[in-house]
Amino acid sequence: MTSASGRNFLHTPGPTNIPERVLRAMVQPAVDFTDPVFLKMTQSCFADLKKVFRTESDVICYASNGHGAWEAALVNTLSAGDHVLVPESGHFTQNWAEMAEAFGVVIDSAPGDWRHAIDPDAVETCLREDKDHKIKAVLTVHTDTATGITSDLPALRRAIDNAKHPALYMVDTVAALGTTEFRMDDWGIDVAVGGSQKGLMQPPGLAFNAVSAKALAACKTANLPRLYWDWERRMEEAYYRWFCGTPPEHLLFALREGLDMVLEEGLDNAFDRHRRLAESVRLAVGVWSRANALSLNAVVPEERSNSVTTILVAEGYDADKLRMISREKFNVSLGSGLGKTRGKAFRIGHMGYLNEPMILGALAGVEASLEASGIPHEKGGVDAAVKYLAAS
Ligand SMILES: *Cc1c(COP(=O)(O)O)cnc(C)c1O
């Protein structure tokens, strides 16, 4: 039975902890959305989002979750019958591809698996084979939240360039934005998809498309039906176009406060904090894994995500029971396995508004849950995390 006393530790990989500052920013009356003060605040959010995406291009903001921003990226750039290249890498590339398919887009896949980052060579090979440039876009996911793996985005840009292929480079960075370095312009990314409720510490409900000049040019000829998601309409001067209707005012109050917090900490400091906290989680899992019932899903250490850690549970043990015990008895909410790892994995989210004692508390809760659920694990995972955090 979950204790009503104390806090719940939210370690699902989205939504994430919302800082009190952000919560408080939402506690205010609705305003006249034509009020110049509100319009100015909204524009300042758009301007600061560019800093987060590290782009000079426009960022469009939708009152939607990440799936909405996925759809926006597709319908603004593609036509029915177009091909897109989707490297196999996890649950989220697969789902984005399924959405494209629903619009009559043809999916070409590049081989890969759920335990490794996207292979730039496989992408290059597929693009080289596409002599008539049927492929209009490459759909990639920066950090796949199911696998806990982060792909090398500059290497994928080089793969596209090496193949001398004109396809748009589209990146879903929903789970990495604010936790892991991302440079839209320097890395030649054409469309970046982001969301509010992961690394940016926001309530769920806002999602973003950052859009390069090349992507904007593609929307002139893309013929998939669209109106609500249409980039050009959203970029018109009239403020009632910015959100295609009433702006999500309270989410924007929250966004303003959250962006202030992100910029006060500094993006590079935030990346560093995430790396440190993630490393402490990986060290703990490394110790627990010595009893051969658990293992990190990401095989290559450099590919392990700083946002989320996916832990595989050996045959014969129940990952969902562990999660239930963790939530009900120890007040630590963990992510489940997704797609082909459903029931066979659990995930520790470590993105957003987090610090050392929060991570140590969560790890202690997981260790207690392993004990309570009878999953073999070597003792001392939390000690390893303490030792690392004390020394680094
Ligand atoms: C969470 C997530 C999404 C989907 O976002 P929703 O807000 O749940 O629609 C897409 N891609 C990645 C990588 C995610 O982590």
pLDDT at 316: 96
What's the gap in Å between 96 CA and the centre of ligand 1? Answer: 10
- Alpha-helical runs (H) found in 103-167: 120-129, 153-162
Say if CB 229 and CB 191 are below 8 A apart: no
Q: Which of 64, 92, 182, 305 is the best mutation target for the ligand 1 pocket, counting ligand atoms within 8 Å of the beta carbon and taking the most?
A: 92
Say if CB 145 and CB 15 are below 8 A apart: no
pLDDT at 2: 60
Q: What is the pLDDT of residues 211-227, one digit of tens each?
A: 999 999 999 999 999 99
Side chain identity, residue 363? L
145 within ligand 1 shell (Cβ under 6 A)? yes
What's the gap in Å between 174 CA and the centre of ligand 1? Answer: 6
Regarding beta strands 168-172 and 308-313, do their DSSP bridges make them parallel or antiparallel, or are they unpaired?
Answer: unpaired
Q: Of all atoms in ligand 1, which is nearest to the CA of residue 197? A: 7
14 within ligand 1 shell (Cβ under 6 A)? yes
Cα 368 to Cα 260: distance, rounded to the nearest angstrom: 37
174 within ligand 1 shell (Cβ under 6 A)? yes
**Sign (positive or negative) of CA dihedral 48, 151, 179, 229:** positive
Q: Of all atoms in ligand 1, which is nearest to the CA of residue 14? A: 1
Domain with CATH 3.90.1150.10 in the chain: 266-391
Which structure tokens are listed for 31? 């305003």
Domain with CATH 3.40.640.10 in the chain: 20-263
What's the gap in Å between 71 CA and the centre of ligand 1? Answer: 12
95 within ligand 1 shell (Cβ under 6 A)? no
State the Cα angle at 278 between 272 and 279, rounded to 5°: 90
**Could you say which residues of the chain have pLDDT below 70?**
1-3
Cα 312 to Cα 321: distance, rounded to the nearest angstrom: 14
The CATH code belonging to domain 20-263 is 3.40.640.10
CATH superfamily, region 266-391: Aspartate Aminotransferase, domain 1 (3.90.1150.10)
Q: What is the pLDDT of residues 33-68, one digit of tens each?
A: 999 999 999 999 999 999 999 999 999 999 999 999
pLDDT at 4: 72
Q: Of all atoms in ligand 1, which is nearest to the CA of residue 69? A: 9
pLDDT at 360: 98
Which structure tokens are listed for 354? 């987090």
Cα 306 to Cα 348: distance, rounded to the nearest angstrom: 11
pLDDT at 5: 87
Of 145, 217, 139, 198, which Cα lies nearest the Cα of 171?
Answer: 139
